[in-house]
Amino acid sequence: MVTSARAIATSSTRPTAGSSRASGWHMTAKPRYRFYDRKPPVVDVRAEVLEGLVARPKRLAPKYFYDEAGARLFERITALPEYYLTRTEIALLETRRDEIADRVGDGACLIEYGSGASRKIRLLLERLKPDSYVPVDISNRQLESTARALCADFPWLKVYPTCADFTDEFSLPPVIGSAPRVVFFPGSSIGNFEPEDALDFLARIADLVEPGGRLLIGVDRKKDRGILEAAYNDSAGVTAEFNLNILLHLNRTLDGNFDPAKFEHVALYNDSLGCIQMFLESTTEQVVRVAGTRVGFRSGERIHTENSYKYDPDEFAALALRAGFRCEVAWTDPDELFSIFLLVA
C-alpha cells in the first residue's frame, strides 16, 4: 500500500572473549577508506553526439548537461523558488529520517547512486548508522572529493567510493561483506529514464540489493501543469541557461561553433506521456559545425534534450512491483508535490 505523510502514512570493534576473532580466526579489519575503480566503458562522445544530431527528431543525451558549468547551473536551479523538487525532498528527509533509520536499522551498507553536493546523504548519515557507505558515480574526481569529505566529517564511517556507471550492471566492493544493502537514489532522477528503461534499471537495483535489501528513492509526482512548467521555465532564466549550456559544452569538447543566441529554451508538459520535455529550438535556418561535421537546422527545428517523467504514487508502486520491489512505505509532503519511497526487494 502506498501511504503519504498526511493521510497514509574508524576503528574496528575490539574482539570479545570467545569470539571467532579472539579465538584465533584472524579476520582483517575493514579499511576506513578505499577507492574502487570499476573502469566504466569509455563512450565515443563524437559518435553519440553526431548520431543524435542527424536523427529525426534531433536529440542530445541529458548527461551532456553536466560539465563543470552545467553542474554549477544546476545547483543554482535547486535553490530557485519555482523549483520545488529539491527543497521538498530535503524537507521530507528531515521530517522522516528517524523513521527511515528505524525501518532500515543499523549496520547496513548504504549505497548512493550519484555523488553531488552530498547534502541529502548527510541528513541520513546523521541518523542512520550504516556499516559502510558506497557512493557510486562515473566521475572519478567528483566522487573522490565528495567521499573524502564525508570520511573526514563522519569519523566512524567506512567509505568505499566506487567509480562505475550505475545505469548499467556493476559490482560492489567485496569489502562490504554480507551487510544488508540499501540503495539511495534521490532527486527524482528516475524520471529521466524512459518508463521501460526505468523498469530495467529498478530490476537491476533489486538484483544488486538482493532479497530483503531496500531502495530509498525520490519521485516527483504528477500535478498541476502550471506548477510543473514553472519549475522548468523559471523567471530568472537559469534553467534556460542550463539547457543552452549543452551547446557550449559541445563547442568546448567537440570543436563546435553553436551560437546559443540562435536557439531558445523550450520546456512543456506532455499530458499523454506524463513528463516534462525540454528542447532547444533553432530560431533561424542555420548550419552548425561540430566534430568536423556540418549539421543543418531549419527555423523552428528542435533538439530534444531531456524528458522528466512524473508519477502518481500508485503508478510508481506498480512499476516498482514489476521490477521486483514491494512498497514498504511512501512519504509525501502536505502539498502532494513529491514522494519518497522505501522499497523492499
| Arithmetic mean of pLDDT, 89-102 | 98
Which pLDDT tens digit goes with each residue over 301-338? 999 999 999 999 999 999 999 999 999 999 999 999 99
Which pLDDT tens digit goes with each residue over 275-290? 999 999 999 999 999 9
| Least confident among 136-140, 213-217, 229-233 | 136-140
> Residue 19: pLDDT above 50?
no
CATH of segment(s) 36-40+83-223+310-344: 3.40.50.150
CA distances from 187 to 43, 113, 116, 119, 190 (A): 25, 10, 11, 11, 8
* Count of Cβ atoms closer than 10 Å to residue 284 Cβ: 12
Confidence of residue 28 (pLDDT cuts 50, 70, 90): low
Q: How far is 36 from 38, CA to CA, in rounded Å? A: 6
Count Cβ atoms within 10 A of the Cβ of residue 299 and give its class: 0-12 exposed, 13-18 middle, 19 or more buried.
Answer: exposed
C-alpha distance across the termini of the chain, in Å: 15
| Least confident among 40-49, 111-120, 193-202 | 111-120
CA distances from 216 to 133, 135, 168, 182 (A): 14, 14, 19, 7
Please check whether residue 214 is in contact with residue 343, taking contact to mean a CB–CB distance below 8 angstroms. Answer: yes
Which pLDDT tens digit goes with each residue over 163-188? 999 999 999 999 999 999 999 999 99
> What pLDDT sits at residue 142?
85
What are the boundaries of each domain within the chain? Answer: 36-40+83-223+310-344, 45-80+224-309
Q: Classify the C-alpha dihedral 268-274-275-280 as positive or negative.
A: negative
- The pTM of this model reads 0.90
Q: Which residues contact 302 (CB under 8 A, 6 or more apart)?
A: 57, 58, 266, 279, 280, 281, 282
